[in-house]
Amino acid sequence: MVTVIDEIMKFEKPINDRISEVFPEKEPKGLYEASVHTITGGGKRLRPAILLIATEAVGGYWENALNAAVSIELMHTFTLVHDDIIDNDEVRRGRPAVHTIWGEAGAIIAGDTMYSKSVEIMADCPTEPEIALKATKILTKTCVEVCEGQWMDIDFETREDVSSEEYIEMIKKKTSVLFGASAQIGALMGGADEKTANALYNFGLLTGLGFQINDDVLDLVTPSEKLGKKQGSDIAKGKRTLLMIDALKKGVKPKAFGKGVLTQEEIDETIVELTKSGSIQYVKELAESYVNQGKAELDILPDSKAKTNLLKIADYMLTRDY
């Protein structure tokens, strides 16, 4: 049986080939090594896959949207490189974070280079100039929102009164808008009209919101090897994710919360506590409801294999275990 992962993976080689073309070996060598370090470290390529399948779903050829797909992945990866400096995270996609190898200065400059390349290849899409320009504007508007989300995330660290609504607004900006932009730009590259492209944006935004809300649960319940970073790191850092906002509202505060370094036993205890409190269930159901709202946006599309694949990816946002 062809799984949704197979559908996503079929784009892996063309995406990786285009990445190599965008970053040829050149001087200064260190800068270009630092710039491709994270993006060649793997990752599910979920955003570019959504973009390319959206192109197909509106009747276009994914080959014409390859630059846009790589642009989106580069933009996503650049924000990770800068975030890892900010959050002092040392591992990303199973590799040492850029700043741990090339220093903060190196990671700042490599991130800026990646973002420049991201815009450059979006502006260079093989399509009418109006469409390439529109896609470029969506990309940069999205990056501004991602920055707003990242700023809110940092602000929230020093606040104890963050509401669920504020938290959802933050992750919408920090994460979901890029899923929205991926689907919307994919649709535009496939020749979709405004209305269809906007529906695709909403599909990406809402399923991306479900994805991120679910991610907070995965951070706690998925073993480190699968997760590619330390299990329970949000809880360890004392981060008020939706899971903890709900638990604290119910008067539940796991010992592990904000403890810094956790043993496997402490992680397991926390899982039991947050299961009992109903917080894990609450977050999972909320994620599911957003994903379902997102899927409904695809009613605008005629039936096709690509549409079915987008719906499968939406489900995968919830069923994935890492």
Per DSSP, the residues of 204-257 read: HHHHHHHHHHHHHHHHHHS-HHHHTS-TTHHHHHT---HHHHHHHHTT---TTT
Nearest residue (CB) to a second copy, 47 versus 117: 117
Q: Between 121 and 244, whose beta carbon lies closer to a second copy?
A: 121
Give the nearest distance from C-beta 118 to a second copy in angstroms: 8
| CB nearer to a second copy: pick between 13 and 26 | 26
- Please choose, from the candidates 228, 320, 240, 224, the residue with its C-alpha nearest in 3D space to the C-alpha of residue 279: 240
Smallest distance, a second copy to C-beta of residue 49, A: 24
3-state secondary structure of 262: coil
Least Å from the CB of residue 164 to a second copy: 18
Question: How distant, in Å, are the alpha carbons of 168, 182, 287 from that of 313?
Answer: 21, 13, 14
Cβ 115 to a second copy, closest distance in Å? 7
**Closer residue to a second copy in complex, CB, 71/231:** 71
Nearer to a second copy, 9 or 86 (CB): 86
Least Å distance, CB 117 to a second copy, is: 7
**Closest alpha carbon to 57 in 141, 175, 182, 176:** 182
Residue that the structure tokens 């570019």 belong to: 48
Nearer to a second copy, 166 or 269 (CB): 166
- Based on its alpha-carbon atoms, the radius of gyration of the chain, rounded to whole angstroms, reads 19
Do 13 and 48 form a contact (C-beta atoms < 8 A)?
Answer: no
CB of 220 to a second copy, least distance (A): 24
Instruction: Tell me whether residue 127 or residue 233 sits nearer to a second copy (CB atom).
Output: 127
Task: Report the helix count and the strand count for the chain, using DSSP H and E.
Answer: 16, 2
List residues near a second copy by CB under 8 A: 27-28, 30-31, 79, 82, 85-86, 104-106, 108-113, 115-117, 119-120, 123-124, 128-130, 132-133, 136-137, 140-141, 143-144, 147-148, 150-152, 154-155
Tokens of 87: 């959050």
| Residue found by looking up tokens 């990816």 in the block | 313
Alpha-carbon gap, residue 247 to 243, rounded angstroms: 6
Q: How far is the CB of 112 from a second copy (least distance, A)?
A: 5
Closest CA to 52 of 172, 188, 198, 202: 188
Q: Which amino acid is at 54?
A: A
